[in-house]
Structure 1
Amino acid sequence: MTPSHGPSHGSAGRWSDLDRPPLNATALRRALLLPDGLWTSLEIVPETGSTNSDLAARAGSLPEGAVLIAEEQTSGRGRLDRSWSAPARSGLFLSVLLKPEDVPVGRWGWLPLLTGVAAATGLARAGGVDLSLKWPNDLLVTVAGAERKTGGILAERAGDDGIVVGLGINVTLREDELPVPTAGSLALANAVSTDRDTLLRAVLRSLEQWYRRWTAAGGDPMLCGLQEAYAAGCATLGRSVRAELPGDRALTGEAVAIDGDGRLVVAGANGGREAVGAGDIVHLRPVD
């Protein structure tokens, strides 16, 4: 059930909010660290600046499948070095270490999109809430009829053979806790469950399933079904968008496809098409 979000009291301050219990590390390890599974270690810390930075710093000494989770992240980073912060235990803030040795590096750019598909699938299944994907790496929910960002993904290279994928998801944030008016949370989207242990298990299991399919296909997004799944869940396609590109250049047109490299294909007013691989995307109008 969605928490009542009552105020916290007592000497523990922010840690005494009974609506936001801590994650159960023992139960999570028992459920996720399986003999033939992808996940090889799971660590939960009370607070850190950035799980991505911490995990990347240790990537050389860790096997694939290491998971680092923070109950509170004080200097979380999104794309373009934007900050990501939220109250303690109000969301899922985690990073995973992947080493896709059977996938050409040129296809690693699909990992943020894969993580988006996996997270949306897992959260829908466990939380009973519909999510959509904003290219390239935002998770959207609908709150009072409006699209709101409830999650973000950041993938960064770690050494020669690894990539750290960070995921931040707002779970129980209230309206008065949102960092910006366009932010949302699963609770505000009327999720049927905001139990973070349940949601985390569902996200990591879904991520493992998609990652296995993708690596087994040598990273081919069409062969493993990833390209189709991403397009099906992408709220950006079919919209008028403005792409704010590196070099202070902007491109306005209709988002018409996701190409084989995971880029967003935008059709301009002159009939030409351009594949956008990096930049900010602004949705200009809703889907008809």
Structure 2
Amino acid sequence: MIVFPNAKINIGLNVVELRSDGYHNLETVFYPIKIHDALEVVLSDELRFTSSGNFLPGNAADNLCLKAYHLIKKEHDLPPVNIHLHKNIPIGAGLGGGSADAGFFIKLLNEVCEIGLSTETMQNYARQLGADCAFFIGNKPVFAFEKGDRFEEIQLDLAAYYLVLVMPPIHVSTAEAYGGVKPVRSESDLRSALKLPVEEWKALVENNFERSVFEHHPQIKAVKEALYQQGAIYAAMSGSGASVFGIFNKKPDLQKFEQANQVFYDV
């Protein structure tokens, strides 16, 4: 059985405070986009994990799909499965690609192995794997808070607009991004700001990571500025970077971006 884990963008991201457990409390909106991986799970005689597409750094044994399998197996009698992941979502882009794979894997494993897990139970498993993994169980726009793993539904639909994602050839690690940010409570309410017309977001909806990431990687800042020059009504870095998305009223001409960056149209 095959599913297609999709990425997400962060619309607004406020790093509110440092927690006692070393994590940070956040306020952000997760919004699913069309860029996706492909994930296959079939019953097998032994547990296997293989991948194709974009290179996956690190040890394959540390992949979140395998971690999810072993986590669930502690409480359920799972048969061995063959897992194949075709990686298309850019890595180190702030798009939650690894978390998407983990969340979709939990849902797929639940179906293939007929475990009967509830949505809430699947979300609780996902929370143990990463702060934004649980989002991909529901996979609908949400206002996320605390570590980014607690959600409130939010009415947000950008279907009337044209979304473009630009990925510079830069990897921004989560550790690097958090190392340069200073937690502070936002003066504006993100949920209220996103109820306003998109044209008004530029002055109100911020990503706190941008200041330090742009300082160390001016190429990412240049992408955001160029998107505005090309007519974006809102543009921002997603998550901790390095991808930048733009919201347009119509399809822009971004051919010059394609020479040095990955460009994803109509996401």
- Tell me which of the two structures has the higher relative contact order, counting C-alpha pairs closer than 8 angstroms and 6 or more residues apart: 2
* TM-score between both structures, scaled by the size of structure 2: 0.25
